[in-house]
Amino acid sequence: MIITIISAILILLGVVFFFGAALGIVRFPDFYSRTHAAGKGDTLSSFLVILGFAVYQLKDFHSFSHDWPILLVILKLLAVSLFIFMTSPVSTHALMDAGWEDKVKPEIGEGKPNHLNDDSEKF
């Protein structure tokens, strides 16, 4: 029972972060900030949801000799989240770099330092 509650809490936390990422994709003004929402929010929340389901697998775990396949499943689930952690930020990074090459203008508010709109200076 305690395992189910822990996993439910982790999964709900992940769903909350998914909601944040979805909100960011709609509400943010320009491409770069949307990429930021997609890269960070989705990665963390998918990690949390998958971790929650991995914890839930432990409910059938009674003894090591009978239930070792469950440990294998948990290992694979953790591998899924690890690879999402590696690939999702890299692809958003590549996209952001391509956007800079593609001359997508970032949106800067009034009165802010505006060096990002200067094409001559690439950070």
List of residues contacting another protein (CB under 8 A): 4, 8, 11, 15, 18-19, 21-23, 25-26, 31, 34-35, 38, 42-43, 46, 49-50, 53, 56-57, 60, 66, 69, 72-73, 76-77, 79-81, 83-84, 86-88, 90-95, 97-99, 101-104
CB of 95 within 8 A of CB of 35?
yes
Residue 73 or 115 with smaller CB distance to another protein: 73
Q: Which of 60, 83, 81 is nearest to 71 (CA)?
A: 60
Angstrom distance (rounded) from CA 36 to CA 29: 12
Angstrom distance (rounded) from CA 75 to CA 68: 11
Residue 101 or 121 with smaller CB distance to another protein: 101
Residue 75 or 115 with smaller CB distance to another protein: 75
Instruction: Work out how close the CB of 90 gets to another protein at its nearest, in angstroms, rounded to a whole number.
Output: 5
Residue 63 or 111 with smaller CB distance to another protein: 63
For the chain, helix, strand, coil in percent to 5 are 80, 0, 20
Structure tokens at 107: 């949106």
Instruction: Work out how close the CB of 114 gets to another protein at its nearest, in angstroms, rounded to a whole number.
Output: 19
